[in-house]
């Protein structure tokens, strides 16, 4: 009866009612099969978006702590495999795991964290010892260093080597705090034998959201248009990588804030008006490869659950979370929450989810009611 009540609550549109009916029919058939079989291990997994689903800023929303606790048994051991699949980032996965564990009151492993920049690990062999630039809020150079890149400068550090590269610097009073930070030279800077001004930039990584758009766009145009040597003649562009292409995201402000995708559009528009066409590679959702990687990590989190019959993506952004799950195909099942970017009463017209709910807690309730017998 509880399952039916939850499903009736979720079915707020004709399309949703059709999808919920399908869930119930499949679940009933699945349950009938289980009655003739002994209890089995979980054959499903869950991927959670973070901002707008579990948290708003640093505040839990939608009953997220309670929802996650249901994925553990009474002894605190994980009984349902799950990961966090976010386009956000700016800090190492280990630090993010500690932060989320504290905010959500459950024990989270670094291996359960998949951030927008996590795929950058795959490029270590190519750029391990090359000079690269890391852009974004948080600790972009620390992130890249932990991945194995050995010659990393943040764009803040790099710009500090070039006098007058940012013509507006003297008007930015808040940069005084950054200047103080430059005095705390890290060990990797102490060991630097080559002046960055004469060393070629081999690649640029947009790790997280840019803090100073005007300065970063100016410096990136300088780097990319000159083959990695700002101030010199026009030359071939070094590779440029974005951790995600989110146009917007749900922050603490009531309406969405501009994301990395918006920064990319601004950079590309300006660059293409002055120089040859900007070339770049974007990672993150909705790229299907991200979902395949999530499936592999879910298998590592709980190998006994593989192969998965269903993988649930719970997100708040139709063009990112839902579109990505749809493009990934089976066994992914998309659940859209109304707690973040999406706030509509009906399903999203362009990227309709398999199910629409109000909160992440409601989503987990539905999943566990449907799948409960599989983990009995």
pLDDT tens by residue, 316-371: 999 999 999 999 999 999 999 999 999 999 999 999 999 999 999 999 999 999 99
Nearest to 256 by CA among 318, 346, 180: 318
pLDDT tens by residue, 5-50: 444 455 444 444 444 444 444 444 433 433 333 345 679 999 999 9
CB 334 within 8 A of CB 345: no
The pTM for the full model equals 0.84
Q: In terms of C-beta density within 10 A (0-12 exposed, 13-18 middle, 19 or more buried), how is residue 191 classed?
A: exposed
Give the whole-angstrom CA distance, residue 170 versus residue 22: 62
pLDDT tens by residue, 252-283: 999 999 999 999 999 999 999 999 999 999 99
pLDDT band at 178 (very low <50, low <70, confident <90, very high): low
CB 334 within 8 A of CB 322: yes
HSE at residue 196, side-chain half, CA atoms within 13 A, is 24
The secondary structure of 209-267 as a DSSP string is: --S-HHHHHHHHHHHHHBTS-TTS--BPPPPEEES---SEE--SSSS-EE-HHHHHHHH
The pLDDT of residue 6 is 47
Give the whole-angstrom CA distance, residue 167 versus residue 302: 53
Q: Compute the mean pLDDT over every residue in the chain, rounded to the nearest whole number.
A: 88
CB 337 within 8 A of CB 48: no
Give the whole-angstrom CA distance, residue 342 versus residue 201: 40
Reply yes or no: is the peptide bond before residue 286 cis, omega within 30 of 0: yes
CB environment 137-146: b (16+ within 10 A), e (fewer) = ebbbbbbbbe
| Chain Cα centroid distance, residue 262 | 16
Choose the weakest-confidence range: 24-28, 141-145, 293-297.
Answer: 24-28
The pLDDT of residue 37 is 38
pLDDT tens by residue, 180-227: 444 444 444 545 666 889 999 999 999 999 999 999 999 999 999 999
The pLDDT of residue 375 is 52
Does residue 138 have a pLDDT over 60?
yes
């Amino acid at each position: 009866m509880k399952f039916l009540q939850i499903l009736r609550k979720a079915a707020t549109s004709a399309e949703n009612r059709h999808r919920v009916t399908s869930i119930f029919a499949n679940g009933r058939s699945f349950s009938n099969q289980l009655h003739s079989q002994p209890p089995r291990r979980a054959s499903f997994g869950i991927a959670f978006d973070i901002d707008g689903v579990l948290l708003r800023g640093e505040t839990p929303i939608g009953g997220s702590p309670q929802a996650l606790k249901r994925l553990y048994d009474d002894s605190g051991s994980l009984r349902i495999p799950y990961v966090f699949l976010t386009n956000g980032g700016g800090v190492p996965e280990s630090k993010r795991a500690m932060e989320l564990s504290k905010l959500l009151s459950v024990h989270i492993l670094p291996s359960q964290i998949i951030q927008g920049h996590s795929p950058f690990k795959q490029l270590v062999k190519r750029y391990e010892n090359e000079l690269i630039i890391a852009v974004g809020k948080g600790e972009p150079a620390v992130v890249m260093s932990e991945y194995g890149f050995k010659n990393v400068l943040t764009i803040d550090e790099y710009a500090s080597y070039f006098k007058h590269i940012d013509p507006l610097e003297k008007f930015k009073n808040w940069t005084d705090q950054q200047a103080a930070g430059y005095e705390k030279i890290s060990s990797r800077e102490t060991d630097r034998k080559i002046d960055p001004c004469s060393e070629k930039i081999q690649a640029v990584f947009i790790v997280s959201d840019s803090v100073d758009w005007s300065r970063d766009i100016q410096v990136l145009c300088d780097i990319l248009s000159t083959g990695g040597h700002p101030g010199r003649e026009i030359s071939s562009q070094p590779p440029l990588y974005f951790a995600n292409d989110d146009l917007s995201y749900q922050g603490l402000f009531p309406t969405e804030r501009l994301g990395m995708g918006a920064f990319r559009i601004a950079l590309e528009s300006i660059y293409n008006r002055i120089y040859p066409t900007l070339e770049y590679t974007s990672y993150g959702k909705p790229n299907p490869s991200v979902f395949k990687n999530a499936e592999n990590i879910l298998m590592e989190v709980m190998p006994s659950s593989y192969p998965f019959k269903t993988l649930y993506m719970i997100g708040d952004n139709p063009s990112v979370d839902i579109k990505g799950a749809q493009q990934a195909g089976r066994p992914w099942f998309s659940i859209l929450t109304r707690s973040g970017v999406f706030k509509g009463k009906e399903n999203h017209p362009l990227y309709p989810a398999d199910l629409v709910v109000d909160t992440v807690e409601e989503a987990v309730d539905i999943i566990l009611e449907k799948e409960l017998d599989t983990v009995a």
